[in-house]
């Protein structure tokens, strides 16, 4: 018996912050065949609200420190404002979405990041036992589309801010036991590019061998490296493929046209 397909799609702030882009993306997302899960971060709204409330954003090496005030803001924005707006729009397109944090249904339980040189505050780290894949599977089988925001919990009553890319990857790995999972990261480029200055120089397919070649030639470096490292780790753990592309082009998948860069075990 062949496994049912599941797309897990993560969208970033560049989509969330633009209502026209978001509308277009959610319409394309609804049109995808098979089971689907959407994962989203927060965009600029959390920063704007923090400023309005007089709460200073604390960053160390570009990473946000989540103190209790910041956690309150991201809970309001990620779990409330953004999540419920997305759910309402998906319902409009006939997609029976359900907005969730990791605490809902106890679907994603994390551990508070231990303090080493830096105290990141109320930040949750995912491990291999964090995801309740059976519970989420039941939700999908019942006809719902889960929409997860970047909040999890520790099982002791504490919500925790958790990286949305990491949540999407962990969901894809955990659910690959039950479904044929494809993980899609929508970001501001059309894919992995041969030439950063040429938006149309998309590398359509990358396998582990080609990845090593591209690293040696320094075509892939800096910001793209952790994204692709995580992608190949997910593939090694059972995910069928990871696709990186622009949210505007997601509709190409429905038309069986190439979309973004596809990372898999073999090209």
Q: Which residues line the annotated binding site for substrate? A: 42-43, 64, 161
Q: Say whether 86 sits in a helix, a strand or coil.
A: helix
Q: Give the whole-angstrom CA distance, residue 37 versus residue 84.
A: 15
Q: Give the whole-angstrom CA distance, residue 19 versus residue 160.
A: 27
Chain-centroid distance, C-alpha 146: 12
- B/e letters for 86-111, b = 16+ CB within 10 Å, e = fewer, are bbebbeeeebebbbbbbbbeebbbbb
Asked if 164 contacts 150 with a C-beta cutoff of 8 angstroms, the reply is yes
Q: Say whether 14 sits in a helix, a strand or coil.
A: helix
Q: Give the whole-angstrom CA distance, residue 56 versus residue 70.
A: 9
Residue 146 pairs in a beta bridge with: 98
- Annotated binding-site residues read 42-43, 64, 161
Chain-centroid distance, C-alpha 23: 18
């Amino acid at each position: 018996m062949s496994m049912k397909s599941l797309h897990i799609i993560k969208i970033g702030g560049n989509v969330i912050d633009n209502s026209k882009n978001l509308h277009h993306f959610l319409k394309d997302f609804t049109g995808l065949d098979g089971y689907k899960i959407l994962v989203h971060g927060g965009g600029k709204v959390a920063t704007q609200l923090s400023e309005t409330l007089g709460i200073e954003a604390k960053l160390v090496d570009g990473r946000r420190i989540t103190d209790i005030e910041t956690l309150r803001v991201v809970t309001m924005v990620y779990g409330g404002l953004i999540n419920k707006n997305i759910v309402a729009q998906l319902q409009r397109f006939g997609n029976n979405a359900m907005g969730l944090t990791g605490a809902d249904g106890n679907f994603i339980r994390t551990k508070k990041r231990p303090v080493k040189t830096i105290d990141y505050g109320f930040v949750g780290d995912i491990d291999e036992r964090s995801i309740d894949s059976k519970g989420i599977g039941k939700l999908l089988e019942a006809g719902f589309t889960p929409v997860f925001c970047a909040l999890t919990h520790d099982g002791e009553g504490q919500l925790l801010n958790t990286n949305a890319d990491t949540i999407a990857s962990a969901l894809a790995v955990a659910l690959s036991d039950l479904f044929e999972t494809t993980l899609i990261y929508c970001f501001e480029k059309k894919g992995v590019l041969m030439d950063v200055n040429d938006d149309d120089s998309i590398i359509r397919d990358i396998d582990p061998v080609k990845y090593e070649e591209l690293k040696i030639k320094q075509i892939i470096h800096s910001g793209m490296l952790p994204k692709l490292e995580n992608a190949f780790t997910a593939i090694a753990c059972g995910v069928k493929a990871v696709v990186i592309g622009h949210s505007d082009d997601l509709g190409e998948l429905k038309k069986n046209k190439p979309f973004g860069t596809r990372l898999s075990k073999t090209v």
